[in-house]
Amino acid sequence: MKTFFVPCFVALFGILQLEKAPPTDTQPKTETKTENPVLETDKLSFKIKAPPSSEAGHLVRISYEGNPKLAKFDCSPSIGTDFLTIGKEAVSSFPLPGQYTIIGAGSDEDELILETQVITVSGSISPLPPPVIPDPPPVIPPDPNIPPGPKGLKVLFLEELNDRSKLPQSQLAILQSTRVRDWLIKHAAKSEDGKTVEARFWDDDYTSEHLRFEKPHWKGIYEKAKIDAKSLPWLLLQDSIKNTQESVPLPKIESEIFELFKKYETN
C-alpha cells in the first residue's frame, strides 16, 4: 500500500504543474519598429500682418507669426527701398501714394510659404521744385599776352608724368585714350607744316630747355596753364577762331571731356 501511494502522488503533482505552466510560444519573436510621429509644431507656419492703410512717407510696420527660419519682405510695385527686418517685424516707408501689395516669404530647409497683403497709401505728392539751370560760363577770350599762333584750337594737357600711376583709372584712360587723340587730330588746329596737331601732353616741370624748339604761343600757353592749375592733371583749351579759352581741371571720365570738346568741334 505504501509503495503504491507515493508514485501516484508524484505523478498527480506533475500533471498539476503542467496545467499551471503558461503555454510556450514556439514561433520566434519579431520586434516591430514604430516611426517617430511628426510633431505638429515641426510643420512650417507663416502669416503676415500689416495695417490696411498708411500715409505716404510714414513708417509702416509689418509683423509675422509662425516659425520660419528665414523671413523676407518686398512689395509690388517696388518702392525702391528695402524692408528692415528686426526680430519678427519688418519696417519700411512708402514715399508715394497708391496701392501696394506686400509680399512676405517664410521658409525653412524644406518648404516655402508666400503671403500677400494689400496696403493703401494716401497723401499728396509734393510738387518738384523747378530745375535750377546754371548760368552759362562766361566767355573768356584768349590771353592777349599769348601769341596767337595758327588759327583754330590748341589743347594742352598739363600733368605730373611721374604720378600717372597714382591717378584714378578713369583719368588715366583719358590721357591714354585713342579716341581723344583721334578727336584732336580731327578738330585741333595744324601747325605751319599743315601736319603737326596743335595739342600737347606736357609735364608741369618742363623748363625753357625742354621748350626751346617750341613756338612762342606754346610757351605762353604752358605758362598760363601752370599759373591756373590748382590741381593736376589740368586742361587748357584756346580757340582763336571762336575767340574763347577754358582752363579747367581734367574731367574725371572720358564722356565728360567729350562733352567739353563739343563746344570746339569744327564740323
Q: Could you give all domains of the chain from N- to C-terminal order, each with its CATH number?
A: 42-122 (2.60.40.10), 153-264 (3.40.30)
Which tens digit of pLDDT belongs to each residue from 25-39?
Answer: 555 555 555 555 544
Give the chain's radius of gyration (CA, Å).
45
Which pLDDT value is given to residue 14?
44
pLDDT reported for residue 143: 82
> Does residue 1 have a pLDDT over 60?
no
Q: Grid coordinates in use for 134?
A: 546754371
C-alpha cell at 92: 519700411
Give me the pLDDT at residue 191, please.
Answer: 94
Q: Model-level pTM? A: 0.50
Q: What is the mean pLDDT of the chain?
A: 82
Whether the pLDDT of residue 132 is over 60: the answer is: yes
Q: Given this model, what pLDDT does residue 2 score?
A: 44
The lowest-confidence range among 3-7, 112-116, 144-148, 250-254 is 3-7
Distance, in Å, from the CA atom of 97 to the CA atom of 9, rounded to the nearest integer, reads 107
Diameter over CA atoms, the chain: 165
Predicted confidence band of residue 140 (pLDDT cuts 50, 70, 90):
confident
**Comparing 18-32, 122-136, 199-213, which segment has the lowest mean pLDDT?**
18-32
pLDDT score recorded for residue 26: 53
Q: pLDDT tens digit string along 63-84? A: 999 888 888 888 888 877 678 8
- Give the E-state strand segments of 188-267 in sequence order: 199-203, 234-239, 244-249
Q: Kindly report, residue by residue over 149-194, the tens digit of the pLDDT.
A: 999 999 999 999 999 999 999 999 999 999 999 999 999 999 999 9
pLDDT class of 203 with cuts at 50, 70, 90: very high
Q: Which residue has the higher pLDDT, 257 or 134?
A: 257
Model pLDDT for residues 211-246, shown as the tens digit of each residue: 999 999 999 999 999 999 999 999 999 999 999 999
Quote the CA–CA distance of 108 and 221 in Å, as a whole number.
70
Would you say residue 11 has pLDDT above 90?
no
- Containing 258, the helix (H) or strand (E) segment is helix 254-261
Q: Which of 106, 23, 12, 98 is nearest to 64 (CA)?
A: 106
